[in-house]
């Protein structure tokens, strides 16, 4: 049957797919818009499968909080090229997914994929983007955080997203300090909030490495344990958030900066998502 320009334009508006892709889909579907829509979704799924071996390490990471500042999400929508990640339509798509996840209180990636945008499941929406753009696009990572106060920070053109949980509600007194700490998390990538959050096997590994170095340097056996303990303590200090030197003022720790902003203020948890990390 003859496919009209109006039909092609309608399908392009619905899917964002290319002109020839829409025309072929309509031809294969005998002009049925819904069937053509499904055809493009299937095509998108097939493209995603064929491209699964390729790296999708670019993308857009979005960190958001609820209006009451007590819940936050970070969603990472990945793609293959920087060119696509900088496209405003793609960025808007990433934000729409993050907003939908936040509004629905989604806990997992699977929860998000089953949500709907404009009447279409997000999982299917992603496949439509695959079909339209021709790159592997995925919901690569998703994190949720709940606390008395949540600060969200989007760093470096949405290449890193951070959530910081505070023990107090977000206020005029602590918001700036909270944002500074979120920037610290983005820049320094701490492994935990404090020593209590560091797995024992990580500390044991640092102790073992320090001992090996001390032996190789010819240190006496009777001081090896002391050297290793000191090295492990230094590692913890440099790699846990509250004990790290504050990047804006190295004479203070992050813990001190928080306490100066508001008495008793501290971080209870944080989430950090960066490009290429899934």
pLDDT in tens, 203-251: 999 999 999 999 999 999 999 999 999 999 999 999 999 999 999 999 9
What are the residues whose beta carbons fall under 8 Å from the beta carbon of 208, sequence distance 6 or more? 228
Pick the CATH number of 199-239 from 3.40.50.1580, 1.10.286.20, 3.90.870.40, 2.30.29.30: 1.10.286.20
- The helix, strand and coil proportions of the chain, stated in percent and rounded to the nearest 5, come to 50, 20, 25
Map out the domains of the chain as residue ranges.
5-50, 58-193+251-274, 199-239
Check residues 14 and 157 and name the one with the higher pLDDT. Answer: 157
pLDDT above 90 (res 272)? yes
Q: What is the residue-averaged pLDDT of the chain? A: 93
Least Cα distance to 193 among 258, 98, 109 occurs for 258
Inter-residue contact 234 to 260 (CB < 8 Å): no
Residue with tokens 């206020």: 171
The model's pLDDT over 81-129, given as tens digits with 9 standing for 90+, comes to: 999 999 999 999 999 999 999 999 999 999 999 999 999 999 999 998 9
In the chain, pLDDT over 90 holds for what percent of residues?
80
- The number of beta carbons lying within 10 Å of the beta carbon of residue 178 is 26
| Class (C level, CATH) for 58-193+251-274 | alpha beta
Beta pairing partners, 165: 150, 269
Interhelix angle 19-28/33-50, nearest 10 degrees? 120
Q: Is 131 helix (H, G, I), strand (E, B) or coil?
A: helix
Residue with tokens 């579907």: 29
Phi, psi of 270 (to 5 degrees): -150, 160
Sign of CA dihedral 195, 199, 203, 206: negative
CATH 1.10.8.10 fits 5-50, yes or no: yes
The answer, as to whether pTM is greater than 0.95, is: no
Task: Look at residue 278 in the predicted model and tell me its pLDDT.
Answer: 65
What is the DSSP annotation of 22-90? HHHHHHHTTT-HHHHHHHHHHHHHHHHHHTTTS---EEEEEEEE-TTSSEEEEEEEEES-HHHHT-HHH
Angle subtended at Cα 95 by Cα 50 and Cα 89, rounded to the nearest 5 degrees = 65
* pLDDT, average across residues 165-175: 97
Task: Look at residue 9 in the predicted model and tell me its pLDDT.
Answer: 86
User: Please, is 110 exposed, middle or buried when counting C-beta atoms within 10 Å of its C-beta (0-12, 13-18, 19+)?
Assistant: exposed
Separation CA 26–CA 264 (nearest Å): 63
Task: Look at residue 117 in the predicted model and tell me its pLDDT.
Answer: 94
DSSP 8-state assignment for residue 141: E
């Amino acid at each position: 049957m003859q496919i009209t320009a109006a039909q092609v334009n309608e399908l392009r508006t619905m899917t964002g797919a290319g002109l020839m892709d829409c025309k072929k889909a309509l031809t294969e579907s005998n002009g049925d818009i819904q069937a053509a829509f499904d055809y493009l979704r299937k095509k998108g799924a097939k493209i995603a499968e064929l491209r699964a071996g390729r790296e999708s390490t670019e993308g857009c990471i979005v960190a958001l909080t609820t209006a009451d500042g007590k819940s936050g999400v970070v969603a990472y929508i990945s793609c293959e090229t920087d060119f696509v990640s900088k496209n405003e339509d793609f960025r808007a798509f990433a934000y729409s997914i993050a907003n939908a996840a936040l509004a629905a209180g989604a806990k997992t990636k699977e929860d998000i994929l089953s949500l709907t945008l404009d009447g279409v499941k997000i999982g299917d929406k992603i496949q439509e983007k695959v079909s339209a753009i021709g790159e592997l696009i995925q919901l690569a990572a998703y994190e949720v955080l709940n606390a008395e106060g949540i600060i969200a920070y989007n760093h470096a053109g949405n290449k890193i997203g951070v959530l910081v949980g505070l023990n107090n509600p977000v206020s005029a007194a602590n918001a700036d300090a909270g944002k500074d700490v979120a920037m610290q998390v983005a820049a320094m990538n701490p492994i935990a909030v404090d020593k209590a959050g560091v797995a024992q096997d990580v500390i044991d590994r640092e102790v073992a490495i320090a001992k090996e170095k001390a032996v190789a340097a010819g240190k006496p056996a009777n001081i090896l344990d002391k050297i290793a303990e000191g090295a492990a303590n230094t590692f913890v200090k440099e790699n846990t958030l509250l004990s790290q030197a504050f990047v804006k003022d190295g004479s203070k720790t992050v813990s001190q900066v928080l306490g100066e902003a508001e008495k008793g203020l501290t971080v209870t948890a944080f989430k950090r998502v960066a490009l290429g990390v899934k």
